[in-house]
Structures are given as C-alpha cells and as structure tokens.
Chains A and B, each alone.
Chain A
C-alpha cells in the first residue's frame, strides 16, 4: 500500500508537467486546473503512503 502511494506521487508530477505541454499560455485557467489536479493526485499518493506506513508500523509495535 505504501509503495502504491509512492508510485502514484510521480504520476501527479507528470500530470502537472503535462499541463505545460498540453495547454497554451492563453488557456491559463485550464492549465492551472490541470496543475492543481496533479497536486491533488500527489496528495492522494501521500495519504495512501502514510496509511500504508501506519499499518506496517502497527504490526511491528512492541
């Protein structure tokens, strides 16, 4: 689960970068929305990774 979350995070980064290539400077709102979506994907990945870490840590508690 943790690794899945960590793998999702670069996907969010590439989504943000794709906004630069896909949208021209004139469509600033669409570009900004795409970048925010990329960040949201990263945040989702971070949450999944944190939950995975929490589960793994819970199993190893003394």
Chain B
C-alpha cells in the first residue's frame, strides 16, 4: 500500500466547489438530449431512467466505488514488476466512511468523481433508448459505478499506474485526462457499444434485405437545448478538472473555458458544413452531436492546448462525427439513437489523443496511446462480458409487445404527452 498527499489553497477549493455545482448541468443536458433523440412514446421512461441511473450510480459509487477509486493521499494497493511500482487499486473505507473528516480537497475530488460517474452512466442509457428496460439500465449503471469506473478513476486520477507513467517510465507527465475524455466519455461510449451489441437494434430499424429505416428523434428542441446545458456543464467539468487533476493555477481557467468554447464551436460548424454538403441541408440532431463531440474532445485537452489547437481539435471532431454516425448505422448496422458511440467514444478517444499530439513534453503522446490502449483493449471486452452476465439475470431488452406500445406505456403505464396522438409504427404491421 502507498499514499501521497496533495494540498490545495482555500481559494482554489472554493472555485472548484462552484464549478462542480455548475457541472451538474452536464447530466441534465445529456438526459434531455437522450430523451429528445428517442421516440415520443419513450420520452417519460427516458427521463425517469436518467434520474434512476444517476441515483443508482451515486449509491453504488458511495457503497463500493469510492473505496476502489481511493483518494489522493489515501491508501492503495500496489505490486512491483520490472523494478517499478504499479498502483492498481484504491483502498479507502467502504460507504465513504471518514470522508467528512477528510481535507476539503479530498472531498471535492470525491464529489467530482460522483458527478463523473453519473455522467458516464447516462451515456449508454441514451444508446439503449426505446428498448432498454429501466431495471436493466439501473443494473448496468450500478455495475459500472461500483466496479468499472472506480478502478479506472484510480488508475487515471488518483495516482494510479497510468498517472504514474511519467514518473516510472519517463513518458511525459503520465496519462493525462483532466476532465474525463477517456475515463468518462470513452468508457461511456464503449459501454454504449457493448450494450447495443447485446440488446440489438430497435425492431424495424434494419429490415431484412432493405436499407436502415430512419428513426429520427422526436424533439429537436430538447436536443438543442440539452446541448446548451451540456456546454455549461462540461465547461465547468473542464475547469474543475484542470484545478483538481492538473493542479492548474486559477489564472489558467479563462483559457480553459475559451478552449472549450472554441472546440465546440469548431465542431458544430464543421458538422454543419459536412451535413450541408452530404444532405443538402444542415441536420439539427447531427449538428447537436457535433457540438457535443467538440465538448467531449475538449474535455481531454482544453486545459493543455492553445486556442488555435483547441479549434483544430473541434473541427476534426466535427468532421468525423456525422461521417462515423452514418458509417456505424449503414455499414456496421449499429442502432445507436443518441450517437453516443461516436460522440462520446470516438470523440473522447480523439480528445485524449490530441492532448498527447499537441504536447511539447517528450513521451506524452506514447503515454496517451497507452491510456487509450488500456481503455479500448481491456474495458470493452470486460464490459461486454459483464453486460452479458447482467443480461442473463436482468434481461436488457423489453419484449416485442413492450417495444410496440412504447416504453412509457409498457413500463410506466402512461405517456409523456397524454394529450397528443402518438402515430403507430408501420414496421409492426
């Protein structure tokens, strides 16, 4: 076991707390986007599910996850290979016992992780829209928050072996992920991929011998307003992350916020141009996806790059987002209503890579590549295995009848829009 202590000035702690309170807008925005991108007959289940997923992930993280994640200055498990120390698991008390007596910076680090785990848990919930059962969504969130996310959080944020790549192997400053581009978004995107593979597409999405059926989101206003909320929330995440995990000075925050805005702006404009060229007119939901992709990419590098570099990061994310969404749907037959695999998974990967690509430090790019290799190579197969087991115990997918009448009526007994007529789906005739 080992421990290390970090001390923050009081002024920084106050600023971090304010940012973390603002960061709660990110899950709110994501929940709204997920609801808008689903069908109208599943809107209430989607939003209630978002609340439940956040609640379950918070409880699971408090019960078990926070212990495995550990705390800065707390104890942890290590082993030794090739003469180096590999810190692989936190060893804090279960059910966050003793946290109230911990220093303020430790409490803020744990609070950041609570918000991050809620955000990560919401990502696959959006991909399973219109067919994922509420109980299954909660089970997946509990598993992720209790075991998967905390171990990764320890590796990346709490002086784990990935964070120590710089000290142990002279790879820059070690794996850097100041606001969860890989830890939150890429993990969420990979969870979404594993979940969608197991749950399968919505009925009628890929008919035999035909093209993929377009199933557009039911409310563009929710999607676009959710994107604006997500901007506020993820900017706060970036700022708080820069202070907590990079130990950046307060003077670095304006540039971090500007970089976040530039990345999102570059991304949405690039997506707008791509969809205008591809389809003749800009696509609202894809543009929202592009905006989010820019924000996600910025969470890996906003605190580390210059404004022109942040703009370039956003433009690249904005170009590949609509193309990859289309490729996954048409070529790989993946039914991902929220586009989370691209928006969070691929953009998170790109943001983490960009942090190394634009770094002046020797070995930083290799450190970032090792972090990405860890998430991709270890986490995706692990998540797939875990979700397979969950699917045996709590079936992920609703039955055919439930999918036909909609998740609202099937699971909640009432719709989100009781005074509106919901048109029937031709694919069930």
| Chain A residues engaging chain B, CB cutoff 8 angstroms | 2, 6-7, 9-14, 16-17, 19-21, 25, 28, 31-32, 35-36, 38-39, 41-42, 45-46, 50, 53-54, 57-58, 60-62
Contacts and interface: CB of A to CB of B under 8 A. Distances in A.
Contacts of A14: 377
Contact of A50 (B200, B332, B366): B332
B276 interface: no
A10 B373 contact: no
A28 to B, nearest CB: 6
Given A36-B369, A57-B200, A62 B207 contact: yes
B384 interface: yes
Interface of B: 81-82, 165, 169-170, 197, 200-201, 203-204, 206-208, 332-333, 362-363, 365-366, 369-370, 372-374, 376-378, 380-381, 384
A39 B373 contact: yes
B333 A35 contact: no
Given A16-B370, A35-B366, A61-B206, A9 B200 contact: no
Given A13-B373, A42-B376, A31 B366 contact: yes
B384 A6 contact: yes
A16 B165 CA distance: 13
A22 B372 CA distance: 19
B372 A13 contact: no
Contact of B200 (A10, A32, A60): A60
17 contacts: A9-B377, A9-B381, A13-B373, A13-B374, A13-B378, A16-B377, A17-B374, A20-B165, A25-B169, A25-B170, A25-B363, A28-B363, A35-B370, A42-B376, A45-B377, A46-B380, A62-B204
Nearest to A35: B369
Nearest to B368: A35
A22 B365 CA distance: 18
Given A53-B197, A57-B333, A12 B377 contact: yes
B96 to A, nearest CB: 31
B377 A21 contact: no
Nearest to A32: B366
A9 B383 CA distance: 12
Nearest to A34: B366
Contact of A12 (B81, B207, B373): B373
Contact of B373 (A35, A60, A62): A35
B333 A16 contact: no
B208 A6 contact: no
Contacts of A53: 197, 332
Contacts of A10: 377-378, 381
B372 A39 contact: yes
A3 to B, nearest CB: 9
Given A13-B378, A60-B200, A38 B373 contact: yes
Contact of A39 (B169, B170, B369): B369
A28 B169 CA distance: 10
Given A16-B373, A21-B81, A9 B380 contact: yes
B206 A7 contact: no
A24 to B, nearest CB: 9
Given A25-B169, A32-B366, A62-B208, A42 B333 contact: no
A25 B367 CA distance: 12
Please name the 3 residue pairs, one residue from A and one from B, whose CB atoms are nearest each other, closest first. A13-B377, A25-B170, A16-B373
Given A35-B370, A46-B376, A61 B381 contact: no
A6 B166 CA distance: 29
A28 B172 CA distance: 12
Contacts of B366: 28, 31-32, 35
Contact of A54 (B82, B332, B376): B332
A44 to B, nearest CB: 11
Contacts of A7: 381
Contacts of A12: 373, 376-377
Contacts of B332: 50, 53-54
Given A9-B380, A35-B369, A21 B82 contact: yes
A11 B204 CA distance: 37
